[in-house]
Amino acid sequence: MAKKLVGTMKLQIKAGQANPSPPVGPALGQRGINIMEFCKAFNAKTQELEPGAPCPTVISYYQDKSFTMDIKTPPASYYLKKAAKVNSGAKTPSRETVGSVTTKQLREIAEAKMVDLSANDVEQAMKIILGSARSMGIEVK
């Protein structure tokens, strides 16, 4: 017999830094998920990622208090800010540029994000990342 799904929740947790303190602990605790078990499993799965990279995570929890997690790649904005060496995007993106990235960097970001994007090839993924860069005020050279 299959486990009965109670619900799902989405959290954005830094890679390798899941701990029982807020916001992770209370969010999991009120749904009856073992917090320490989740933290150990999450940190083990994200140890190969860059420490501190924000990882969107979808957690499905079941009636028997077990859970599964789907860890996605960090957001495109994280990679773009890192490549352009800026702290945040532009206040007025269409009028102001805060930094720039090369086409080669854009391709690397697209290849890293390929598993989470709805693109068939790298060229299409690059267009998606280019749109994110434009909306942040980062130009591509």
Q: State pLDDT tens for residues 70-90.
A: 888 888 888 888 887 887 777
Unique residue bearing structure tokens 């130009």: 139
Handedness of CA 115, 116, 117, 120 (dihedral sign): positive
Tell me the domain boundaries of the chain. Answer: 5-71, 76-140
Q: State pLDDT tens for residues 90-107.
A: 777 777 777 777 888 888
- Topology, domain 5-71: Ribosomal protein L11, N-terminal domain (3.30.1550)
- pLDDT value for 66: 83
Unique residue bearing structure tokens 């790298």: 122
- Topology, domain 76-140: Arc Repressor Mutant, subunit A (1.10.10)
pTM score, whole prediction: 0.75
